Amino acid sequence: MVLTAEQIQNNWMDLEETIKVFISEPRCSQLLDLYSRHSERIMMMPASYKKEYHNAFPGGYVDHILRVVDCALKLNNVWVEMGVDESTYTKEELVFSALNHDLGKIGDEEYESYIP
């Protein structure tokens, strides 16, 4: 799969909007700041380092985490329908976990974890 520059930009805007909608302050601002500081790296990185794996293309990381968030929210609806005890977690915790489940792939302040 190949994402266009417009799709990559739209995914980035969707990521920022997801954070604003589901994550409360001060965590929302902190998360937006983290993603903003590394925006170029995160926006363009693949979700996987191996081409045989999922979303191994430019922009694949953000595309992947948005899909995980969407899936988590859909599963949450099913769990609620089936009677899950909603007091054991919040929707914010669910979305935060989905957004950041692969965050280690971006590396650190000095080094990119993904090296083309």
Instruction: Tell me the pLDDT tens digit for each residue of 22-61.
Output: 999 999 999 999 999 999 889 999 998 778 888 989 999 9
Q: How confident is the model at residue 3 (pLDDT cuts 50, 70, 90)?
A: very high
Give dist(CA 102, CA 85) in Å, integer.
Answer: 27
State the pTM of this model.
Answer: 0.89
**pLDDT recorded at residue 115:** 58
* Residues of the chain above pLDDT 70, percent: 97
Name which residue leads in pLDDT, 114 or 15.
15
Q: Is the pLDDT of residue 85 over 90?
A: no
Q: Is the pLDDT of residue 18 over 90?
A: yes
Q: What is the mean pLDDT of residues 75-103?
A: 93
Cβ atoms of 46 and 62 closer than 8 Å: no
In this predicted model, which residue has the larger pLDDT, 63 or 111? 63
State how far the alpha carbon of 101 is from the alpha carbons of 5, 49, 80, 96, 98, in Å: 24, 16, 22, 8, 5
Query: Looking at per-residue confidence, does 98 or 52 come out higher?
Result: 98
pLDDT band at 114 (very low <50, low <70, confident <90, very high): low
Residues 6+ apart with CB under 8 A from 85: none
